[in-house]
């Protein structure tokens, strides 16, 4: 008989079994098999982790940045060595294909690489002689104990938008993974253990609302990064900010793509399908609305319907599979309900992916790619984040109407345009109200050295994850003005 393991926390360098009375089952969404259990850790355990991190901060902040990044070089090498195993774990707990999991880990590693540049990235500035014999400088210092609260859809990558920068800047850290996908972080913490970081510099606490609220309320937490749905992002931002913490909270999305008649239709269709159906649509940069302009309508509609119908759906670990399951049975039911709602609101169900039979995985949480045509822009389905493999088609006559449609949305995570016209592309880049823009790109995910720039209801805060924004977020500036009188130097 298979014994199902309850995952430990890692606090102050020690793996410890939680005292939580409640555990959740971790389920492989392709097979519906229970693969582990995760404890819903208590506020007491979160507080233990925060105290350990606060103690570790005293010496960690005095460790020179050049020494701190040596740990990251070691981590990068270990992540490369364990790359395949980490990718398999992501697929097992999250459902996406192995190729998608590898892409996710690649971006995680890129963030470690960028953070290795901290000795130069966190440099300050200096002005000599702001007045006679007076110099002024700005230095960057770490904040203290910081934390990240993660969503389910990128268990390997999302913590790395923050963690490498946080510790390289001299902070100590708490990671609270999604309670739906805690296995990948278990493995990553085993690697963090191997690089020999001083105890308490990084800590792992599993759990859900009680653990999160304890992080939000603890006076020793200085800054919190959150990624998840918009209602929770708003809640986390408000409560953390009210407690005086520095906050960056990334929320949900409803990303539109526009297809102009002059677009390369073969390429556009392929890229749009990858965006809408990749990761089973469970990506904050997934295309969920495609707006065709003028004559693009017929060619795009026919082609995307074909690609959606032909997509190979199955267990992400199996060779040749192009799309895996959604995360849970609740999610599957919710998405199927939203597809029906779209139909009830007057859309035509061009491709219906509900209730597929996937041979060998009859219990898995599968939905095949689905396309709703002529979706009413004023209806609920045009506004709700579905977070599944569902693409809504809309049609307008001009690029101005299309941009107005894009800008009418409540979210602003990403907007994309498909065209061969430079003038149209520039107009779109200039006018579209979203923080990540794609031109002939379907998933405009910023590289690790650019900020992940969500706007509107997709982001609460000022500084985003990754790159220079992360360095700004994880440091506080201090300005020093110094007077050195000339006569004191004359004696030398
Ligand atoms: P979620 O909001 O349900 O959960 C995210 C985290 O919040 C989890 O760690 C969870 O434990 C915690 N949480 C949930 N409810 C809470 C509550 N009431 N009080 C305190 N903590 C709570 O999100 P999810 O379903 O895991 O992830 C999917 C969402 O994340 C989608 O909306 C997606 O668009 C979004 N997302 C956004 C980005 C981005 O960059 N903007 C990236 C990835 C995912």
pLDDT tens for the chain, residues 1 to 492: 578 999 999 999 999 999 999 999 999 999 999 999 999 999 999 999 999 999 999 999 999 999 999 999 999 999 999 999 999 999 999 999 999 999 999 999 999 999 999 999 999 999 999 999 999 999 999 999 999 999 999 999 999 999 999 999 999 999 999 999 999 999 999 999 999 999 999 999 999 999 999 999 999 999 999 999 999 999 999 999 999 999 999 999 999 999 999 999 999 999 999 999 999 999 999 999 999 999 999 999 999 999 999 999 999 999 999 999 999 999 999 999 999 999 999 999 999 999 999 999 999 999 999 999 999 999 999 999 999 999 999 999 999 999 999 999 999 999 999 999 999 999 999 999 999 999 999 999 999 999 999 999 999 999 999 999 999 999 999 999 999 998 888 877
Q: So what's the pLDDT on residue 1?
A: 56
CB 350 within 8 A of CB 386: no
C-alpha 220/C-alpha 284 separation (Å) is 31
Residue 492's pLDDT is what?
76
pLDDT at 39: 98
How far apart are the CA of 151 and the centre of ligand 1, in A? 4
CB 282 less than 6 A from any atom of ligand 1: no
Give the position, in ligand 1's atom list, of the atom nearest the Cα of 232: 2
228 C-alpha to center of ligand 1: Å?
2
387 lines ligand 1 (CB under 6 A): yes
Q: Is the CB of 240 under 6 A from ligand 1?
A: no
Q: Whose CA is nearest to atom 42 of ligand 1?
A: 284
- Residue 385 Cβ inside 6 Å of ligand 1? The answer reads yes
Does the CB atom of residue 413 touch ligand 1 within 6 A?
yes
Q: Check if 315 has its Cβ closer than 6 Å to any atom of ligand 1.
A: no
Q: Which atom of ligand 1 is nearest to the CA of 385?
A: 32
Cα(53) to ligand 1 centroid in Å equals 24
Q: What is the pLDDT of residue 490?
A: 84
Query: Catalytic one among 10, 146, 249, 284?
Result: 284
User: 155: CA distance to ligand 1 center in Å?
Assistant: 12
Respond yes or no: is residue 94 known to be catalytic.
no
What is the Å distance from ligand 1's center to 159 Cα?
A: 13
Is the CB of 179 inside a 6 Å radius of any atom of ligand 1? yes
Q: Are 18 and 177 in contact (CB under 8 A)?
A: no
């Amino acid at each position: 008989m298979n014994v199902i393991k309850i995952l430990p926390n890692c606090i102050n360098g020690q793996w410890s079994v939680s005292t939580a009375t409640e555990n959740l089952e971790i389920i492989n969404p392709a097979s519906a098999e229970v693969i582990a259990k995760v404890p819903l850790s208590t506020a007491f355990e979160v507080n233990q982790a925060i105290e350990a991190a606060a103690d570790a901060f005293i010496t960690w902040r005095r460790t020179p940045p050049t020494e701190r990044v040596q740990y990251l070089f070691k981590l990068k090498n270990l992540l490369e060595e364990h790359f395949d195993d980490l990718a398999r774990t992501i697929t097992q707990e999250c459902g996406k294909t192995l190729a998608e999991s590898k892409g996710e880990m690649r971006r995680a590693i890129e963030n470690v690489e960028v953070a290795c540049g901290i000795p130069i990235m966190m440099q300050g500035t200096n002005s000599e002689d702001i007045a006679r014999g007076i110099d002024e400088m700005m230095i960057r210092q770490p904040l203290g104990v910081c934390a990240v609260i993660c969503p389910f859809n990128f268990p390997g990558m999302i913590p790395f938008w923050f963690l490498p920068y946080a510790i390289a800047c001299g902070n100590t850290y708490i990671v609270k993974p999604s309670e739906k996908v805690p296995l990948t972080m278990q493995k990553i913490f085993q690697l963090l253990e191997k690089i020999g970081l001083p105890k308490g510099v990084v800590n792992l606490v599993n759990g859900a609302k009680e653990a999160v609220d304890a992080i939000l309320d603890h006076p020793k937490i200085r800054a919190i990064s959150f990624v998840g749905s918009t209602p929770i992002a708003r809640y986390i931002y408000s409560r953390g900010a009210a407690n005086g913490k520095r906050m960056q909270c990334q929320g949900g999305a409803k990303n539109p793509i526009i297809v102009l008649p002059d677009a390369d239709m073969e390429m556009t269709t392929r890229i749009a399908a990858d965006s809408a159906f990749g990761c089973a649509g469970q990506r904050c940069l997934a295309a969920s609305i495609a707006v065709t302009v003028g004559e693009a309508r017929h060619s795009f509609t026919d082609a995307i319907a074909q690609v959606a119908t032909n997509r190979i759906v199955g267990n992400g670990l199996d060779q040749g599979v192009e799309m895996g399951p959604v995360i849970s049975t609740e999610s599957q039911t919710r998405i199927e309900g939203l597809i029906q709602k779209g139909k009830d609101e007057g859309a035509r169900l061009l491709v219906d992916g509900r209730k597929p039979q996937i041979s060998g995985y009859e219990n898995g949480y599968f939905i095949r790619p689905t396309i709703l045509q002529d979706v009413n822009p004023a209806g609920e389905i045009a506004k709700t984040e579905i977070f599944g493999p569902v693409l809504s088609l809309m049609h307008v006559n001009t690029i101005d109407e299309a941009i107005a449609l894009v800008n009418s949305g409540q979210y602003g995570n990403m907007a994309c345009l498909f065209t061969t016209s430079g003038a149209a592309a520039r107009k779109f880049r200039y006018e579209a109200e979203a923080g990540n823009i794609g031109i002939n790109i379907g998933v405009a995910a910023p590289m690790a050295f650019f900020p992940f720039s969500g706007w509107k209801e997709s982001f609460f805060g000022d500084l985003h994850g990754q790159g220079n924004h992360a360095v700004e977020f994880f440091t506080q500036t201090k300005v020093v003005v110094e007077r050195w009188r000339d006569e004191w130097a004359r004696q030398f």
